[in-house]
Amino acid sequence: MKLTCRLRNETYQFRSIADVLAKASEEKSGDVMAGIGAASSLERMASKYVLSELQLKDIYENPVIPYEKDEVSRIIYEDVSAFIYKEIADWTVGELREYILSHSTNGNDLKRLSRGLTSEMISAVAKLMSSLDLVLASQKMKHQAHCNTTIGEPGRLAFRCQPNHPVDNPDGILASIKEGLSYGSGDAVIGINPNNESVASVAKILTMSHELIEKWKIPTQNCVLAHITTQMKALQQGAPVALMFQSLAGTQTANEDFGVSQKILDEGYELMRHKGTSAGLNFFYFETGQGSEVSLDAHSGVDMQTLEARTYGYAKHWKPFMVNNVSGFIGPETLFDGKQMIRCDLEDLFMGKLHNLPMGIAPTYTNHMQCDQNDQEIAGMLTTVAGANFYMGVPGGDDVMLSYQDTSYHDDASLREMLGLRPLAEFEKWLEKMGIMEDGRLTENAGDLSIFD
Partner 1 sequence: MDIESIVKEVMKEMEGPTEEKTINRTAEREFVYHFEKMVTVEEPKNKDSIAHAQQGTPARIGIGRSGTRMKTKNYLDFRVDHAAAQDAVFKDVADSILDKMDLPILHSKASSMQEYLMNLDVGRKLNEESVKWLKENAPKGKQVQIIVSDGLSSTGVEDTIPDLLPSLVQGLEAKGLSMGKPVFIRKSRVWIQDEVASLVDCDVVVSLIGERPGLATSKSISAYLIYCPNENSVEADRTVFSNIHEGGVPPIEAGAYLSEVIEGMLHHKASGVKYAQLKNN
Interaction site with partner 1 (CB under 8 A): 29, 32-33, 163-167, 169, 171-173, 175-176, 178-179, 183, 195, 257, 295, 331-333, 336, 366-368, 372-373, 395-400, 402-405, 408, 410, 413-414, 417, 442, 444-451, 453
Shortest CB 395 distance to partner 1, Å: 4
| Nearest in space to 219 (alpha carbons), one of 284, 265, 162, 279 | 279
Which is closer to partner 1, CB of 81 or CB of 195?
195
Strand partners, 13: 4
Which is closer to partner 1, CB of 126 or CB of 161?
161
CA dihedral 38, 43, 47, 50 (to 10 degrees): -160
Per the rule left: phi > 0, alpha: psi between -120 and 50, beta: everything else, 328 is left
Per DSSP, 222 falls in state E
Shortest CB 194 distance to partner 1, Å: 13
Q: Name, in order, each residue with C-beta under 8 angstroms of 336's C-beta and a sequence gap of 6 or more.
A: 28, 29, 369, 370
Which is closer to partner 1, CB of 95 or CB of 448?
448
Shortest CB 368 distance to partner 1, Å: 4
Which is closer to partner 1, CB of 163 or CB of 320?
163
C-alpha distance across the termini of the chain, in Å:
66
Which is closer to partner 1, CB of 90 or CB of 417?
417
Which is closer to partner 1, CB of 75 or CB of 181?
181
294 near 13, Cβ under 8 Å?
no
Shortest CB 254 distance to partner 1, Å: 12
Shortest CB 25 distance to partner 1, Å: 17
1 near 62, Cβ under 8 Å?
yes
| Nearest in space to 360 (alpha carbons), one of 281, 287, 255 | 287
Shortest CB 272 distance to partner 1, Å: 26
Helix (H), strand (E) counts: the chain:
21, 16
What is the β-pairing status of strands 441-442 and 437-438? Answer: antiparallel
| Nearest in space to 72 (alpha carbons), one of 365, 354, 337, 312 | 312
Give how far Cα 7 sits from Cα of 36, 169, 288, 444, Å. Answer: 20, 61, 36, 62
In whole angstroms, what is the distance from residue 313 CA to residue 315 CA? 6
In whole angstroms, what is the distance from residue 257 CA to residue 252 CA? 9
Which is closer to partner 1, CB of 120 or CB of 375?
375
Shortest CB 122 distance to partner 1, Å: 28
Phi and psi at 448, nearest 5°, equal -105, 100
Which is closer to partner 1, CB of 90 or CB of 297?
297
Which is closer to partner 1, CB of 99 or CB of 452?
452
CA angle at 151 for the pair 148 and 153, rounded to the nearest 5°:
130
Shortest CB 401 distance to partner 1, Å: 8
Strand partners, 4: 13
Contacts by residues 226-231 (CB-CB < 8 Å, ≥ 24 positions apart): 226/194, 226/197, 226/202, 227/197, 227/259, 228/259, 228/260, 228/264, 228/265, 228/268, 229/259, 229/264, 230/197, 230/198, 230/199, 230/202, 231/202, 231/268
Shortest CB 364 distance to partner 1, Å: 13
Which is closer to partner 1, CB of 87 or CB of 372?
372
Shortest CB 18 distance to partner 1, Å: 22
Which is closer to partner 1, CB of 53 or CB of 372?
372
Shortest CB 227 distance to partner 1, Å: 12
How many Cα atoms are found within 13 Å in the side-chain-facing hemisphere of 316? 27
CA angle at 188 for the pair 409 and 113, rounded to the nearest 5°:
120
